[in-house]
């Protein structure tokens, strides 16, 4: 990685401007062109240095509903159950875990009613009990990893 790539990563961890031309604003701060910024971000994604670049929204703050859920999936059915769960557009992330509850996923819906309905549909389609673990308290951990 070149120093400018490190500067981009470090700068973007501080926040991203909400304006008509956010990439242009960031590029000016870093003294590079908007085109170069976009090319470097794409290269960092393509080579795997960055796994994702995008916004994180607080669904609850904009009227949505978010929850963490888990399943106890028999190992021989893991791939089949993964396909069923991932087919739901409301499933944001799905992770295998080394735990009795070995499949964990985040469900993002527009309403609590839709959340309950989706969890019920997952139970019906998988034949497995869904353990719903909604957030009770949120804590902010300011994590910045210097590149």
Statement: residue 38 has pLDDT above 90:
yes
pLDDT of residue 34: 97
| Rounded distance between C-alpha atoms, residue 125 and residue 5, angstroms | 45
What's the CATH number for 59-133? 3.30.70.3460
Percent helix, strand, coil in the chain, to 5, is 45, 15, 40
Nearest to 30 by CA among 19, 20, 41: 41
* Neighbouring residues of 32: CB distance < 8 A, sequence distance ≥ 6: 4, 40
pTM of this prediction? 0.64
Query: pLDDT tens, 58-107?
Result: 666 677 788 999 999 999 999 999 999 999 999 988 899 999 999 999 99
102: tokens are 């070995």
Query: Domain 3-46: which topology?
Result: Arc Repressor Mutant, subunit A (1.10.10)
Percent of the chain with pLDDT over 90: 69
């Amino acid at each position: 990685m070149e120093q400018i790539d490190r500067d981009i990563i470090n700068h973007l961890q501080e926040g991203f401007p909400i304006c008509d031309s956010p990439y242009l604003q960031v590029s000016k701060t870093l003294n590079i062109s908007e085109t170069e910024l976009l090319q470097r971000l794409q290269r960092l994604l393509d080579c795997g240095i960055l796994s994702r670049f995008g916004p994180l929204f607080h669904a609850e703050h904009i009227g949505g509903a978010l929850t963490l859920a888990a399943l106890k999936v028999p190992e021989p059915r893991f791939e089949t159950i993964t396909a069923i769960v991932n087919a739901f557009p409301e499933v944001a992330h799905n992770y295998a875990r080394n735990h009795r509850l070995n499949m964990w996923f985040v469900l993002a819906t527009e309403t609590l009613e839709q959340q309950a309905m989706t969890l019920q549909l997952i139970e019906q389609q998988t034949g497995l009990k869904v353990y719903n673990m909604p957030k009770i308290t949120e804590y902010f951990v300011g994590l910045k990893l210097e590149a």
